[in-house]
């Protein structure tokens, strides 16, 4: 089983639309949407049937039993996150700032505090035409995004083994945060969707450092290309310096967002299909 991550240094580079095109092209694939804060891959893939929906629980959080609380206030004093307040009824209560460190559990003289599981998202498992899609939604403002991504990836690997799938394709989050790290670790190849712009160049440098740290080989799809030849030259040099290979180019084309609005991807546009097919072949050869 081989894993490919499609990444980009910045949002809006076209990562998800490229990932969706590649997923549609592969004969059999397990697709993972690891952008758990803005999961858009299902919109483009339009899964045929939802098989499972599971609650995702992150770090446990504290809960106070007001019946046995003696109002000593020690929990509020020790909490470094300002997560314990006093309700209008005068009870000590845990608010949304709780990080689950359990210091209050340890200090409470009347054992009135315990930790409970906290649901912070949902994992989905669906069937697509040529395989399966695993994606997840993290609740707004919730922590544990890295843990949720790790859980979706673990589910995809288990599924690949039981259903005998050879390729897992991960649509990663933009940037270089812990979510990106959680999406990248252990993959066999990264495809970077690089927007031809100065901000694209700056963010690619950061992503290249991350990939270098994990010793991950990468190919590059240069997207929205052809606007400025100076920027293009800078990007080409930078990709070469970072041991990347430009494997495909898609020009800036206002027809592409219109196609996406119709839920079409690059392989549904005859002028780009062969470029994506060639890219897909190169990716498979590198595995
Ligand atoms: S578990 Fe930690 S963060 Fe949460 S309320 Fe207790 S002391 Fe504060
Ligand atoms: S430490 Fe325990 S007893 Fe004291 S206020 Fe907090 S919950 Fe109540």
Q: Which ligand is nearest to the CA of 94?
A: 1
Note the CATH number of domain 61-116: 3.30.70.20
Give pLDDT, residue 11.
86
pLDDT at 180: 94
User: 5 and 184 in contact (C-beta within 8 Å)?
Assistant: yes
Residue with the larger pLDDT of the pair 189 and 51: 189
- C-alpha 8/C-alpha 194 separation (Å) is 6
Q: What percent of the chain has pLDDT over 90?
A: 92
Joined together, the tokens standing for residue 5 give: 């991550």
Domain ranges of the chain: 2-57+122-286, 61-116
Identify the pLDDT of residue 142: 83
* CA–centroid distance, residue 54 to ligand 1 (Å): 26
Q: Region 218-225: what's the mean pLDDT?
A: 96
Q: What is the pTM of this model?
A: 0.89
> Taking a C-beta distance cutoff of 8 angstroms, is the pair 244, 216 a contact?
no
pLDDT of residue 193: 97
Q: Tell me the fold of 2-57+122-286.
A: Rossmann fold (3.40.50)
Phi-psi category of residue 101: left, alpha or beta, with phi > 0 → left and psi -120 to 50 → alpha: alpha
90 near 15, Cβ under 8 Å? no
Residue 67: pLDDT over 90: yes
pLDDT band of 144, cuts 50, 70, 90: confident
Cβ(66) to ligand 2 under 6 A?
A: no
State residue 49's pLDDT score.
Answer: 81
pLDDT at 110: 97
User: What is the pLDDT averaged over residues 36-65?
Assistant: 92
Q: Is 100 left (phi over 0), alpha (psi -120 to 50) or beta?
A: left
153 CB neighbour count, 10 Å cutoff: 22
257 Cα: distance to centroid of ligand 1 (angstroms)? 46
Going by CA atoms, what residue is nearest to atom 4 of ligand 1? 98
143 pLDDT higher than 90: no
pLDDT given for residue 169 in this prediction: 98
- Can you give the pLDDT at residue 10? 83
55: nearest Cα among 128, 130, 144: 144
pLDDT of residue 29: 97
Q: Residue 50 has what pLDDT?
A: 85
Q: Using an 8 Å Cβ cutoff, are 228 and 202 in contact?
A: no
Q: Say yes or no: do domains 2-57+122-286 and 61-116 share a fold.
A: no
Which residues pair with residue 250 across a beta bridge? Answer: 223
Ligand at minimal distance from the CA of 116 is 1
Q: 142 or 43, which is more confident?
A: 43
What are 272-280's contacts with CB under 8 Å, separation 24+? 275/248, 275/249, 275/250, 276/18, 276/21, 276/22, 276/25, 276/248, 277/25, 278/247, 278/248, 279/22, 279/191, 279/219, 279/221, 279/247, 279/248, 280/22, 280/25, 280/26
Question: Which tokens in the block code for residue 123?
Answer: 């994992």
Cβ atoms within 10 Å, residue 212: 12
Residue 80 Cα distances to 14, 77, 246, angstroms: 41, 8, 48
- Name the pLDDT band for 52 (thresholds 50, 70, 90): confident
Give the 3-state secondary structure of residue 96.
coil
**DSSP symbols for 180-233:** HHHHHTT-SEEEEEEESSHHHHHHHHHHHHHHHHTT--EEEEEEEESS-HHHHH
Whether the per-residue pLDDT at 245 is higher than 90: the answer is: yes
For residue 15, count other CB atoms closer than 10 A to its CB: 28
Answer yes or no: is pLDDT of 237 > 90: yes
- With beta carbons less than 8 A apart as the criterion, state whether 209 and 243 touch: no
Per-residue tokens: 129:
């035409």
Average pLDDT, the chain: 95
* 122 Cα: distance to centroid of ligand 1 (angstroms): 24
Nearest Cα residue to atom 7 of ligand 1: 79
Residue 217: pLDDT over 90: yes
What is the percentage of the chain residues whose pLDDT exceeds 70? 100
- Cα of 92 to ligand 1 centre, how many Å? 12
Give the per-residue pLDDT at 271.
96
Mutate to test the pocket of ligand 1, among 92, 103, 112, 117 (most ligand atoms within 8 A of CB): 103
pLDDT for 131 equals: 96
């Amino acid at each position: 089983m081989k894993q490919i991550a499609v990444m980009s240094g910045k949002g809006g580079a076209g990562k998800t639309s490229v990932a969706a095109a590649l997923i549609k092209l592969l004969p059999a694939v397990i697709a993972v949407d690891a952008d758990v804060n803005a999961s858009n891959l299902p919109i483009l893939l339009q899964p045929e049937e939802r098989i499972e929906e599971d609650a995702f629980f992150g770090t446990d959080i504290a809960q106070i039993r007001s019946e046995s609380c003696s109002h000593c206030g020690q929990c509020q004093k020790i909490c470094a996150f300002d997560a314990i307040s006093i309700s209008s009824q005068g009870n000590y209560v845990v608010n949304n700032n709780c990080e689950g460190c359990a210091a209050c559990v340890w200090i409470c003289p009347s054992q009135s505090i315990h930790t409970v599981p906290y649901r912070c998202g949902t994992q989905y498992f669906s069937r697509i035409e040529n395989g399966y899609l695993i994606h997840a939604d993290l609740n707004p403002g919730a922590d544990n995004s890295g843990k949720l991504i790790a859980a979706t990836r673990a589910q995809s690997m288990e599924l690949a083994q039981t259903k005998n799938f050879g390729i897992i394709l991960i649509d990663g989050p933009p940037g270089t945060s812990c979510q990106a790290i959680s999406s990248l670790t252990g993959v066999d190849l990264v495809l970077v969707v690089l927007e031809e712009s100065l901000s694209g160049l700056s963010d690619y440098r950061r992503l290249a450092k991350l990939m270098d740290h994990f010793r991950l080989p990468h190919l590059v799809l240069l997207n929205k290309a052809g606007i400025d030849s100076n920027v293009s030259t800078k990007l080409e040099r930078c990709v070469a310096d970072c041991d990347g290979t430009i494997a495909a180019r898609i020009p800036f084309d206002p027809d592409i967002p219109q196609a996406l609005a119709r839920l079409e991807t690059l392989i549904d546009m005859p002028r780009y299909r062969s470029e994506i097919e060639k890219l897909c072949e190169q990716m498979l050869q590198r595995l």
